[in-house]
């Protein structure tokens, strides 16, 4: 696997150059996956590389996949079918079942579960938001690198996951609600693309050789129930192939708390 900083137009020395302040076995990479297959489709190379470099890799799947049936006869069974396929898919690239966590939210509903509480009723607080559950989980996993889906016109559930990463992530290390779990600082935030372009140019690329790409595809093919849906995405994977180096996977570094630069405004005021 090769690592590239596209923004600076240079090859990187490896994962320790890709993720600054890399601490090997002390690293905990968490992939927020809108649906069961998204993490492998969009961040498969990083899952593969994280395991190779002895990091802990965990995948949090947000939605149950209950809308993912192409045959009406499978409507009642599709969630359980996908759960079994998911275990086999990630096992094919080295992720064991105990590193796959599920929130089981209904498909096309992720936005409804953002935050901590829903609107209150006269009878009781409507605590449907997943903030507490996810924040606690990210702290307990001692997350150091958080990867989440692209929020630019991919899918409403992907946008919900991106909001989770950008707004929950910083709170993981903040000294708030500390009785839930001990705060633990996340060092890196990155978005991956499942199929849509990023709103702005990404800055990091992984390049896999043919064997590494085929390993990921073997995992993807375990979702037999989804082949009608993701078949087109599999075909598009060939567009990732470069003329010389291999297949590319693209990432965008995210600063979830961009600092205000007051000097810009002060300089303008000085010119008035």
Q: What is the pTM of this model?
A: 0.94
Separation CA 29–CA 58 (nearest Å): 6
Q: What is the pLDDT of residues 32-88, one digit of tens each?
A: 999 999 999 999 999 999 999 999 999 999 999 999 998 999 999 999 999 999 999
**Cβ partners under 8 Å of residue 22, min gap 6:** 15, 16
Separation CA 263–CA 69 (nearest Å): 54
Separation CA 96–CA 132 (nearest Å): 25
Separation CA 96–CA 20 (nearest Å): 27
235 falls in which pLDDT band (50, 70, 90)? confident
Q: Is 70 exceeded by the pLDDT of residue 122?
A: no
Architecture of domain 2-271: 3-Layer(aba) Sandwich (3.40)
Contact 35, 154 (CB under 8 A): no
Give residue 233's pLDDT: 80
Give residue 140's pLDDT: 98
Looking at every residue in the chain, the average pLDDT score rounds to 94
**Residues constituting the chain:** 272
Q: What is the pLDDT of residues 43-58, one digit of tens each?
A: 999 999 999 999 999 9
CA 262: distance to chain centroid? 32
**Cβ partners under 8 Å of residue 148, min gap 6:** 31, 32, 161, 162, 164, 165, 166, 189, 190, 191, 192
Give residue 118's pLDDT: 74
Give residue 269's pLDDT: 97
Q: What are phi and psi of 98, to 5 degrees?
A: -75, -5
Contact 148, 162 (CB under 8 A): yes
């Amino acid at each position: 696997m090769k690592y590239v900083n596209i923004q600076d137009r240079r090859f990187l020395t490896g994962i320790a150059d890709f993720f600054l302040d890399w601490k090997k076995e002390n690293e905990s990479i968490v992939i927020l996956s809108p649906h069961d297959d998204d993490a492998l489709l969009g961040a498969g190379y990083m899952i593969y590389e994280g395991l190779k470099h002895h990091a802990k890799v965990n995948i949090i799947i947000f939605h149950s996949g209950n809308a993912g049936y192409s045959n009406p006869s499978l409507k009642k069974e599709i969630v359980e079918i996908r759960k079994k396929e998911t275990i086999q898919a990630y096992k094919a690239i080295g992720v064991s079942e105990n590193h796959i966590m599920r929130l089981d939210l209904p498909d096309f509903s992720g936005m409804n579960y953002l935050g901590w509480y829903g609107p209150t009723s006269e009878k009781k607080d409507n605590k449907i938001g997943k903030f507490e559950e996810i924040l606690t989980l990210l702290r307990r996993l001692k997350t150091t690198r958080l990867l989440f889906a692209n929020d630019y016109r991919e899918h409403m559930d992907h946008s919900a996951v991106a909001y989770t990463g950008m707004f929950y992530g910083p709170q993981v290390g903040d000294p708030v609600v500390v009785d839930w779990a001990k705060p633990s600082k996340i060092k890196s935030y990155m978005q991956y693309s499942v199929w849509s372009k990023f709103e702005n140019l990404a800055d990091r690329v992984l390049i896999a050789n043919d064997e590494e790409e085929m390993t990921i595809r073997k995992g993807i093919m375990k979702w037999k129930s989804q082949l009608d849906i993701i078949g087109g995405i599999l075909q598009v994977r060939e567009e990732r192939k470069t003329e010389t180096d291999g297949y590319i996977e693209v990432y965008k570094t995210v600063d979830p708390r961009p600092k205000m630069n007051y000097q810009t405004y002060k300089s303008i005021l000085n010119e008035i």
